[in-house]
Amino acid sequence: MLYHLYETQRSLMEPFTDFAQAASKLFSNPVSPLSQTSVAQRMAAGYDLLYRLGKDYEKPAFDIHTVDVDGIGVAIHERIEVDKPFCELRRFKRFSDDPATLTKLKGQPVVLIVAPLSGHYATLLRDTVRTMLKDHKVYITDWKNARLVPLSEGEFHLDDYVNYVQDFIRHLQGIYGNCHVISVCQPTVPVLAAVSLMASRGEKTPLTMTMMGGPIDARKSPTAVNNLATNRSYEWFENNVIYRVPEKFPGAGRRVYPGFLQYTGFVAMNPDRHASSHYDYFKNLIKGDDASAEAHRKFYDEYNAVLDMDADYYLETIQTVFQDYKLVNGTWDVRSPAGKLERVRPQDIKTTALFTVEGELDDISGSGQTEAAHDLCSGIVRKEQRHLEAKGAGHYGIFSGRRWRDIVYPKVRAFILEHELPAKPVASAAAPAAPKLASPSPAPAKAAPVAKTTTAKAPKAAAKPAPARAATKPAGATAVATRWVQPAATPTGAAQEPTADLSTAQTSATAAPSTRSSGKSKARKA
């Protein structure tokens, strides 16, 4: 009933929102007589703020059209590779007419980015995708809004999430032979489960897993987000946050955790910050500070766009990850598409290298929660494991923004490249291109002095022989686990990332038809 009341109220407010938008233009348009009055700028700013507070925010676009590769502009075209009822596998296909650039693009690693299904859309990782496109072939999981999925498509469970990830990995393996997987926030748990199940069956697993800021072991350094899930029972969540989709949507009748409730939780965690941000936006409009006003719009266009999550998926995530800790306790059974229950055994992973990333100031996934994956993946030799703690970075900062680009990404790129070369079969025709991949492009100048490497104590497992591909690795590879710890960045703004709470409720929740290019296109592609 609450969902129906909310939609009714929003429909009633829509005419007033449209009026506020029109009034703002009347007071700001130079040809309007109202714009010549003494209070015009203040009235335009006020109406614009009212419009943005009341408008309905739709799914944002990735809006990635070009990337720069060694000074050459490369065109980007989004296309849907796999379309499932609750998710699209989206590829960012790169096009170039420059032969040298084309050769380089074709030899770069394939990366599957698993986006969170915990409130916000996959566009939350826009900066992650844009940065990775310079050196990788990039695919991303673009999760659908549950209220737009008809009931005829069935329910969506946490097991389905795990099975989707496996299907996407197999899809990329079928095309390229193998791939690398990056999971951000909530997906770290189902991605680890997916790779574990593939390893237990004897299937080919990805070359690397990079896990960033996820609740692998939510018992360690519990945050306020973790406490919310542990202080409330499963029944409380089911009775208080689950509602049915109103009739006006394609998914009418589906049980969901509504996006507007998630958004309310987002704002409730930092109400003063949001009130101050909106007031600053109003003042910037009055002063004519268009750059600051546009930055505000871009942030809240993303922040306010939320999706509904299927109730079964949400409730099972709460129970499995934050209440029963089934992954770390070794009691998690996943149902395959054939209906067979399979035990998740991370220790069965042997041929996939592991890299975990945490932010020093992360208040969503506490310290040690992501690093716990190393203890679970005991079958991976220690020299194939890495951990990075990004100093000065919050939850959002480890996958977006300056710290992501200057501190985290160079390490991720190097880790992927290190494990790409030995595993990639080299054909005679492609042999000349191999030296180009042997050394990654130089890291940003800011990242040069930041790496402080300490050697961790290697357990007895270090004596185990490395996988076959490790034998061909560069001679400089260390024989023990490496822990990268970044020195503190400049304190200015470190604790005040304006986007830090963009993913806040993601973990608490745990967050176009295919247009294949014609073969007649003159543009060469990679």
The pLDDT tens digits for 350-385 are 999 999 999 999 888 888 999 999 999 999 999 999
Residue 363 lies in a domain: yes
The CA distance from 131 to 134, in Å, is 6
Dihedral sign for Cα atoms in the order 229, 232, 233, 239: negative
Question: Residue 186 corresponds to which amino acid?
Answer: Q
Query: Is 451 among the domain residues?
Result: yes
List strand residue ranges (DSSP E) for 167-321, in order: 180-184, 208-212, 243-244, 255-257, 309-310
Mean pLDDT across the stretch 155-161?
96
| Identity at 484, one-letter amino acid code | W
Question: What average pLDDT does range 3-24 have in this prediction?
Answer: 92
Question: Does 127 fall in a domain?
Answer: yes
What pLDDT sits at residue 47?
A: 95
Domain count, the chain: 1
In a domain, 9, yes or no: no
Task: State which amino acid sits at residue 172.
Answer: L
Average pLDDT of the chain is 82
DSSP 324: S
Task: Considering only residues 35 and 141, tell me which one the structure prediction assigns the higher pLDDT.
Answer: 141
pLDDT given at position 71: 87
- Domain assignment present for residue 432? The answer is yes
Instruction: Find the CATH number of the domain harbouring 92.
Output: 3.40.50.1820
Domain extent for 464: 72-240+308-469+476-483+496-508
pLDDT at 483: 55
Lowest mean pLDDT, pick from 7-11, 253-257, 355-359, 496-500: 496-500
Claim: this prediction has a pTM higher than 0.85: no
Please indicate, yes or no, if residue 56 is contained in any of the structural domains.
no
Closest to 257 measured CA to CA, from 310, 299, 320: 310
Q: Could you tell me which of 95, 184, 91 has the C-alpha nearest to residue 142?
A: 91
Per-residue pLDDT band at 451 (split at 50, 70, 90): very low
The reply to whether 345 falls in a domain is: yes
322 lies in some domain: yes
